[in-house]
Amino acid sequence: MLALLVAGAAALGYSQGPRLAGAQVDVAGVVAQGGQQLRLFANQQVARVSVDQLTIVPDAAATVSTSGDVIAVEFTQPLNYNTTYSVRVAGVTSRYLDSPSTLEYRFTTAGADVYYLSRSVASDSGPVDQIVRSAIDTAGRDVVYSAARIQDFAVFDRAVAVVTINDDGNNALALVGGSGEPDPIDLPGTGTVDLVRGSAGTGYLGFTFTDSGPTTDRGYSDTLFTVDLGGARAVAPVAGLDGTPLQVLDWQFLPGTSRIVAQNSDESVIMADPAEPDSVIPLGQYTEFGPVSTDGATLVVGTAAGLRALTIATGKSEPLLSSPLDGAVPHVSAAEVLAGGRTLQQVAVFDDDTGRFASSLTVDDGQTSRRIFATLDKRGSIEGFRVSPNGEFVAVETVPNVSKSVPDDYPRNGRSQSVSTSFVSIYTGELVKTVEGFDVSW
């Protein structure tokens, strides 16, 4: 009798259509990059579903597929930070019975933690520099590491790579983990480090290195090196097309990979991968080198005629134009390609009230230009910007009053003593938070 009751209950469950038995999603991964999945587990094998059956609130682009008892919802773009999403798949049937049901799941994405460098902070032993971690939607701050004369840093999953300036003006490089004690990384020799970048997902650290001493005696000059922090931590030069170490003007990791794009000293732009030494690909000759889009597909470059969007996969580029702002076409000094064919542009427009050019950040969709940030009373300058990995926010470095700015006199990666960073919503232009510091790492 008991067996008949159990069998009857099971048959009733199957006749009512599939039910949600569980779900799996990486709430930190979905804000870091596109292509992440929400996996819905049904209590029975399900028939194929289509994207027409899928509803996501708030709206997010996604594809859907099925395999056995799993429905996989793959998000095309990164999701927003600290947001509750409702995912609903309607009309789900089993592979054997046409009894439709609806599967629905809600989850909240991770918030955004940022790291930045704050210099000359008062302490008991005198001024120190601090690497600070903070959430962009709260007032709290945690000091990750403090030391005298921190030049630069790069953030990894469980550690921070830190470059400090020695008393003789040369640099030291160390990895600082949870203990707070620096673990030195041997440099190629005695000299200086610059253009420090990290690829947290792959564990690769990169930087340029220049030997100390007279220029004519240098073995390395602005030479690009990488370190696999998950391996032997051996510092190795990145080779160019001719097999010799690259001397670069600037460079970047492609997001989420060990691949790099770099502008050589002769202004040629290449793509290479330190994990695959024979993978160097030429991308063209350009006078300027800008940011890579968050999806790693597009690099902003420049010629004498202006900025261009370079598609990395094809090596083809097209002009980056600017729509009118305040009735005039502004001058674009820097840009980054955003999702949906938009660009984030740092522009300058002549201001009749002050008699000088005023800087702004705008979002340009090819038809209209929308201002999302300008310095207070147009007295400051925008020193640079960094877009969050999900394209939701931009961190804007500013000097509030150029006429009163005093440099911090650091020989590399120097800033004004009054530099600050504002976090702004790219969608709305809302100012979310401002901190005293710079060099934001998302």
Q: Does the pLDDT value for residue 4 go beyond 70?
A: no
What pTM was computed for the model?
Answer: 0.90
- Tell me what pLDDT residue 347 has: 93
Judge whether residue 308 has pLDDT over 70.
Answer: yes
Report yes or no on 27 lying in a domain.
yes
Asked if 65 contacts 47 with a C-beta cutoff of 8 angstroms, the reply is: no
What distances in angstroms separate CA 413 from CA 153, 165, 222, 365, 416, one per listed residue? 10, 11, 14, 33, 10
CA distance 236 to 154: 18
Query: In percent, how much of the chain has pLDDT > 90?
Result: 80
Q: Is 377 or 404 the better-scoring residue by pLDDT?
A: 404
When mean pLDDT is compared across 37-51, 213-227, 348-362, 415-429, the lowest value belongs to: 348-362
Which one has a higher pLDDT value, 368 or 217?
368
% of the chain with per-residue pLDDT over 70: 95
pLDDT tens sequence across 142-178: 999 999 999 999 999 999 999 999 999 999 999 999 8
Nearest residue to 116 via CA among 431, 402, 386: 386
Mean pLDDT of the chain: 92
Average pLDDT over residues 83-109: 96
241-251 average pLDDT score: 95
Residue 8: predicted pLDDT? 40
Confidence of residue 18 (pLDDT cuts 50, 70, 90): very high
Residue 70 counted as domain residue:
yes
Q: What is the mean pLDDT of residues 108-130?
A: 89
Does position 9 have pLDDT exceeding 70, yes or no?
Answer: no
CATH code of the domain covering residue 73: 2.60.40.1220
User: What is residue 355's predicted lDDT score, i.e. its pLDDT?
Assistant: 66
Res 242 pLDDT > 80: yes
Alpha helices in 229-343 (DSSP H): none
Domain with 63 in it = 2-108
Q: Do the domain assignments include residue 80? A: yes
What total number of domains does the chain contain?
1
The mean pLDDT of 334-356, rounded to a whole number, is 86
Convert the pLDDT of each residue in 263-294 to its tens digit: 999 999 999 999 888 889 999 999 999 999 99
**Quick one: average pLDDT of 331-354?**
88
Kindly state the average pLDDT of the residues 112-119. Answer: 96
Backbone angles phi, psi at 292, to 5 degrees: -90, 140
When pLDDT is cut at 50, 70 and 90, the band that residue 10 belongs to is: very low
* 363 alpha carbon, distance to own chain's centre: 18
* Exposure class string for 360-380: b at 16+ Cβ within 10 A, else e: bbbbbeeeebeebbbbeeeeb
- 258 within some domain: no
Residue 297 has pLDDT above 60, yes or no: yes
Question: H-helix or E-strand containing 361?
Answer: strand 356-364
Tokens of 145: 């590491």
What's the pLDDT score for residue 412?
94
Contact yes or no for 219/202 (Cβ under 8 A): no
User: For residue 263, is it within any domain?
Assistant: no
User: Within a domain: residue 82?
Assistant: yes
- 18 in a structural domain: yes
Whether residue 104 is predicted with pLDDT greater than 60 in this model: the reply is: yes
Element housing 119 (H / E): strand 113-121
At residue 296, does pLDDT exceed 80?
yes
- Is the separation of the CB atoms in 217 and 231 below 8 Å? no
pLDDT at position 354 is: 67
Cis, peptide link before residue 319, omega less than 30° from 0? no
Whether 15 maps to a domain, the answer reads yes
